[in-house]
Structure 1
Amino acid sequence: MARVRLDVGYDGTDFSGWAAQPGRRTVAGVLLAELEKVFGPGNPTGLTVAGRTDAGVHATGQVCHVELPDERWQALAPTLVRRLAGLLPGDVRVWAAREVPPAFDARFSALWRRYEYRVTDTEAGPSPLRRRDTLFWLRPLDLDRLKAAAAGLCGEHDFAAFCKRKEHATTIRHITRMSWRREPDGVLAATVQADAFCQAMVRSLVGAMLTVGDGRREPDWPASLLTRTERVSDVLVAPPHGLNLVEVGYPDEAEFAARAEQTRNLRGVPAGQRAAGTA
């Protein structure tokens, strides 16, 4: 079997998230079905993704890996992207497919994930061509207040206040980048980058900052919640359609295995604890 990395993009509007679910249309389900048409039923195995996006969340830089029969892969590698373009529906694209070392793990080898969230506070709302990936915010937003709120959230913290907690999983994460900018068309874009994210964490962070941007909360309010050990009910979870996974970062090939082992150890640390030397 050959381990193959797929770089994937999708419009999440009509999907029930990435992960396969019985009776629901998901990105993984659609992708695997078309891979089986090319490689045969049951031949693509071990489909693993860098970040499981929720229902309605988009991706332009998603990464996954899959195991494919080596002989068939070698024969189809030069044409696989074009073949999939003809098979996949219009809301899913495979940008690239290439063989990677067995030590590569799309999820655990990743160093960081970068998301962007788009929101407009213009009177007219989002452009009709961007309505599926841009939130319409009815209150005026102040860029300086958004930036001030973002500054207090960078670094390594316990983000339990912003996460849907999972049993035996840590809510400690390291945000390496949190910024806001206003585009020439008036759209505000938030960039959030971290080693990993808990479920609904990015949308909760954005929602908290938006209430600062429109003046309902003070800029230090989101950071003040980092002392909490449980999810805070009055934190707004921003709608999913404004969120897009834009890039996943990986180390050099020689470091794939070591990074995967380190990440597995970190994800097994109980909430409130952290192993030394982490990202």
Structure 2
Amino acid sequence: MRIAAILEYDGSAFSGWQRQEQARSVQAAVEAALSKVADEPIHVTVAGRTDAGVHALAQALHFDTSAVRGEYSWVRGTNTHLPPDVALLWAAPVDEGFHARYSATGRHYHYIILNRPVRPTYLARRVTHEYRLLDVAPMQAAAKHLIGEHDFTSFRAVECQAKSPIRVLRGLEVQRHGEFVHIHAHANAFLHHMVRNLAGALMAIGAGEREPDWARQVLEARDRRAGGVTAAPDGLYLREIAYPDSFKLPRLSRDVGLW
């Protein structure tokens, strides 16, 4: 039986999604909890691996199991064995043709910047701090240069293992709400560090270091060295994974709740 599930987690204390020998990972915590409920080893496939410090509001995964459990038992039982910074929101049987990664049609990320002179306290690790005043108008103007299907080599990590740097950036919006600046990114898929590199470039433009047209120049360079600083993982949230309606996964996307 193939089971699909949706997770929420605070990535602050994790080395990232992927299992690692000497570091705490979300994958290891989730597989250990699911294995206890199933009473057999469980190995999961995730929609997209998140970096160290990155959070998820609705991360999707699937796994195959011979264990027969009700939807309530999967959720309630797994949460009993998960650490406080991870929660299983939903789980149910799906068609065997469903694949958490390859069936996805889109991914949504949300990046939050606390834009004030003083560093955060209770929001530390949940927002990125920028002490320089950011002007969102040139940031949004720059974002328009990046929308569409492009070679995003300049915005991916040097160690990115994706076979192709071509991605379709469907939306990139910058908004201010009081002391907070929000960046919403929507694409068919993202490269390693792509959202953080986009955010880093937009922040440089918002701070007046660069003009909006610089974003187009960086994109056309197809060289990571042209792209500037990689923004911190703090404040980055995987908000939603989109799938065809035929798979009947619930849409659990919601606002982060930080303004």
TM-score norm. by structure 1 comes to: 0.84
Match of 1:170 in 2: 164
- 1:167–1:15 Cα change, 3 Å: closer
Q: Percent identity?
A: 36
Within 1, Cα distance between the matches of 2:74 and 2:162? 39
1:227-277: per-residue Cα shift (whole Å, max 9, x none)?
223312551100011110000111132799xxxxxxxxxxxxxxxxxxxxx
**How does 1:138-153 map onto structure 2 within 5 Å?**
138-153=131-146
- Say whether the 8 Å CA contact 2:53–2:125 is kept in structure 1: no
Q: 1:189 aligns with which of 182, 186, 189?
A: 182
Match of 1:259 in 2: none
- AA aligned to 2:6 is D
1:72-106: per-residue Cα shift (whole Å, max 9, x none)?
33x34332211222211111011000111001111
Q: 1:130 aligns with which of 123, 127, 135?
A: 123
Larger displacement relative to structure 2 (6-15 or 219-228) = 219-228
The offset of 1:41, in angstroms, is 3.6
- 1:170–1:39 Cα change, 3 Å: same
Q: 2:78 aligns with which of 84, 93, 102?
A: 84
Q: RMSD of the alignment, in Å? A: 1.8
TM-score norm. by structure 2 comes to: 0.90
| Alignment gaps of 5+ in structure 2 | 250-259
- 1:87–1:156 Cα change, 3 Å: same
Match of 1:54 in 2: 51
- AA aligned to 1:92 is V
The offset of 1:19, in angstroms, is 0.9
- AA aligned to 1:174 is V
- Say whether the 8 Å CA contact 1:101–1:253 is kept in structure 2: no
Match of 2:209 in 1: 216
How many residue pairs get aligned? The number is 248
Larger displacement relative to structure 2 (246-255 or 137-146) = 246-255
Match of 1:121 in 2: 115
- Say whether the 8 Å CA contact 1:162–1:235 is kept in structure 2: no
| Alignment gaps of 5+ in structure 1 | 257-279
Runs of 4+ in 1 over 6 A off after TM superposition: none
Match of 2:10 in 1: 11
